[in-house]
Structure 1
Amino acid sequence: MAARANADISELLTCSVCFDDYKDPRTIPCGHSFCLHCLESISDGKMVFECPVCRAETAVPEGGASQYVIAFVLKSLKDAVERTEGEEDYHFYCEKCHELLTYQMAATTHQGHKYHNIQVSYANHLEALKKSLIRLRVRTEDMAADREVLLQVESDILKQKEQIREEIVIVSDEIIDAIRKATQQKLVQLDEIFDKKMEIAMQQRQESDEMLKTFVGIQEEVEHKLSTSSCCQLLSKKTEILKQIHSATCMMKKKDFKPKEKANVKFVRNSSLVSSSQNIGYLFPKSSPSYSVGHDPLVMAGLPSTFTVFFNPSHPPYDSTPSIQCTLTSCDTGNTTTTVCDFGKVQGFSHSFEMVPVDRGEQLLTITTDDMLTAQEPITFIAHPSPYMRGRPLKEIKSLKKPIGIAITKNNTLIVVNQGSNSIEFIDDSGRVSCDIKFTDPHGIALTDDEAYFIVTDKHSVRLIETLSGNVIETAGGEKKGYKRNLFSNPTGVAINPMTKQIYVADTDNHRIVVLSEMTLTRVTEFGKKGSSLGTFDEPMGMEFNSDKLYIVNNGSSCIDVYSAIDHKPLSRIGASPTRLSYEGLSRPSSLTIDTFGYIYITEVTAPIFSVKSSAINRISIYKTDGQFVRSFGGKGRTEESFYDPSGIAIDRRDGTLYVCDTDNNRIVLL
């Protein structure tokens, strides 16, 4: 019966043109369905064709055969058959290879692998996929919310554009009104000036007219006497005529007819008013200042750092020569440093200066010059602590159970390996949460770049764990120790190569470094063997990548070995003691971390054998990546500034805070 049903379904899913399974089935108006490529072949170059089954004439759509209706029922039935086809032959699912297994495959090619009944695996993975779907839904909701915000931003931009347009028109109208008033005032002033000038000039001219009339009368009278008088009359009147001429001459000398006014008024254009009428104002983004500040990528407290102020070339020119005051304020202590820079004419310039942050932590840089710039937001940045400032704890995280490994996420969540309780603990501002996974003897921990997973070394194994769910995704090694390809012996340190994403494991008791693939934890290669010279290991432990180099703690040799991260060739040693009993150099280091300035922070535990200064170890030593010793601090004890078996260390690269696992004091110390 089942065979006949399958045959009927197979016939139903077979195209009557190509006699093969339907491929993209389409239904024509008569109700019969065919593969799209079969319909294209039949109707090629035709306006009408006959149905291959019922011979009904069928018109070809303008867009060709692809415009026929998709046969969704046949397509869905075909997909359902393909999904269920062959499932009855599988009974197991291999968790290692991620494959479906038959009885024969489980007994042969997958013998020894971890696999479960297919229904059990289905239920487990379905639940995991549902959790992933929930995360996707949350992100989808977040994206929808972001879209609403973007729509609101578009609306705000358009609204603000219209508001500013109205403001510009208003300002323009005000300027036009002001110019009209100024014009009227200037014309009134012009009339007043020239009316006064005309009054003086006319009065002076009238006086000159009267005087001229008098002179002309005297002149005519004298001329008449001279022409009409006889000799006796002229001689007798000579004295009188001379008196008239002398009187007129004296009167002329007394009167000064030099012009008291002139047409000497000049109109000078106000060029600044003309230019401002062309540019009636400036548009500045509310959130973007007209200057910006750059500084060194990494700023260290106590050391000078270079800061540069950049002003936009389109910044309005100043009428004066301003000085700019730069103030650096510690957000934690309130301590300030101030510098004053004289720049000259400010119009498109930059200026560099040095400032020294007094304290570590968040700093506030304030630029002050004129009203426009003082209104802008201060610039904030982080000043990392100097290696010489380390020593006194900033804070302690207590009540832990022998913390031995630590990793720090980008949102400042701590993932702590508690060896005393064989567990993993998540610590953030909201509290502490323990992971449900049980370990045998956990030690090292490393986060992937995207922080979606972290890797933990256990007794004789390495585990890949999903950060969000806390589920173990993959395991390398097992319960028993060994040296063979898939075995470990007390692995401790672990690090991820930022270039290849491969996982490096310090296989401590096998005196080697094992390289595993990114997600499957499949062994890629290994390097190192037991020995005391460079290129060999004596119980390698913690390690960390920095640029193209790998720094490895060589515990038994009491040094840090530097290897190439590309070809795994040994390069140099750091902190090696001159002799076995020497107090100089490193002493049984266990872990390390490297800050953004190239300083290596190394935890040390025990003293050299038979050393009388054994109480002075249990410390943190600082070296530069070139091998130069900087300083050490700490010592064995249970006080605030001492350590007892410090075995794990990490640094927060955002602010330079150092986290030390003070294992036997059951705490993490922040420095």
Structure 2
Amino acid sequence: MGSAPSSLKREVHEELSCSICLELFTRPKVLPCQHTFCQDCLRDHAEVKIPLQCPNCRQQVRLPPQGVAGLPDNHIVANMIEKLQKQEKHLEEIREQPQSGNRCSFHPSEEVKLYCKQCNVPVCTECCEEGHDGHPTTGLKKAAQERSSTVQALINEGRNIVENYLSFLRSLREEEKTLNEKKQQTDSIIIQAYNQMVLKLRKRKDHLLSKSGENHTKNLHRIQTDRDRVLEDLNELSAACDRAEQELQQGWGEFLSQQTALIEVVGKYSGKAAPTPVQTQPAVFEPTDTPVPVLGHVRVQSLPSAPIPAATAPIPAKPASSNVAAGGRGHQHGNQRQGEHQPQKVTFGERGSGTGQFWDPVGVTVSDEGEMFVADRGNQRIQVFTLQGTFVRHFPTIVSGKEKMYPWDVAMDGEGNLWPWVVGGTKSADFAVQYNKHGRVLRTFDLQQTVWDRGVAVDTRNNHILITQTTGDLKNKHGEFLVFRPDGTLVRTVGQQQGVKHPRYITVDGEGNILVADIWTHFVFVYSKDGQFLFQFGGKGSGEGQLKQPNGICTDRAGNIIVADCGNSRVEMFDKTGKFLKHISTDMRSPRAVAMVRDGQLVVTDHGKDSVSIFQNF
């Protein structure tokens, strides 16, 4: 048992050490995956690994605006390290104190030789005379021998409990290792399934291109055959005319002798129908309007609980949240009405910077041509897709020259050009920029100040640009929306009098009314086309008709209002008076922006999953 203390110290140090620097944590920061690292170690790692991934499990981490310093502190680990360091310092001080032998602490000149049985303390002769007169005593050595067995039994019991706790910690490490390996295996299988499906799609693409090429070749052959036939007739007729014209110039006698041949050739062609245009049949690709291929499903495998050592005292655990089991907030499925129709949905996208990948898709709009424009904020670009989720093109959100801005929202203009307006910000200013559909900057105007993120909408009746704005600090926010002409001239400012705090997204309905979603007050504010306040609805909560951090907002042809209820992880529908109608979706993580399509489809971006969903028949 002599090595037990050093073994315990080593294992405790291992549990409280950073896996990057292998030293005790300093300013420990905890990631969303619950792994903890030193703040400086994470900062160095973040500079090398972009985007940041957990060094242990490789899960991507979305850093707050303050960077690594803004991550939550692991106060439990910090307190444990502080206690450990104080204990080690105390033990070191004890070891460094000079040994006083068996000298009495009250009478330093006397040696302790006796043990007072009544008071259970070692004493010297003078102590017996002064404070322990008449108390039963025994020799110090004999008393130590009598009590050593009891003390040793307690030590042994304590060591056994310590070993059980250490065994439990080792089992947790093994369980974490197993989980990491299982995740890597699952991810590998998902990627393999994806690659196989991509291979099948590539073969199908090659087959369709081959069929298109064969059709094109047949049409070209038909054109060439008709060209050769007409050229042959043209040569014969042209030669006869040229010959007759030449003979006519040479003399009447020669002409009259050859007149019969010319009559024959011209008569041959005057009775024939003129050549008609070639009837070709070009191939046309018609994409199937079906959901994208489904790779498979990720299910949670039930594992047997690891047994707790019998001698270990129970360790309190936090109660399991139903949110985790359901893959979202616990109230979501309870809010879905029994028997309520579930819409068809196509979902595409994932976190990344490649084609068709997103990093915080915060805005979306759809042109009359059926092209979907997505504001990909983290990647500083606009991506364009078909309504089947097929990537078309993308362009960077450039303000001027090479300066890029982070886009916050996007809306189509009202001049019939189908060109998007984008609001966004750089480090120094906010801008409204109009691009053509291929990303060339058409016009720009400065929004004068840098504020919280904004939303944009276009009033197509008068082509006014409506942009939300929030000023002030966290404790004293002021919200409003600004109405501009396309040249940047400010028409009016609306919303200061109704208690609007942080308006994020904005839209205009079919009657010209203006709707603004306020993520701070959890209300939707409705104004007339002239900016007069009409009513508000919502309010913080998770019940029917309540909202929590409402984000994207749009309306359908019937005037029904659709809201991305981000804080409740659902998409809601209200009628034009603000009366709750139904849940459109309750299985999204953080629905952010919404847009209606002319044929009745609904597009929703999911900030939490970095994806886009297209709903039909909702």
Normalising by the smaller structure, the TM-score range is: 0.3 to 0.5
Structure having greater relative contact order (Cα 8 Å, sep ≥ 6)? 2
Q: TM-score, normalised by structure 1?
A: 0.36
Q: TM-score, normalised by structure 2?
A: 0.39
Which has the larger Rg? 1
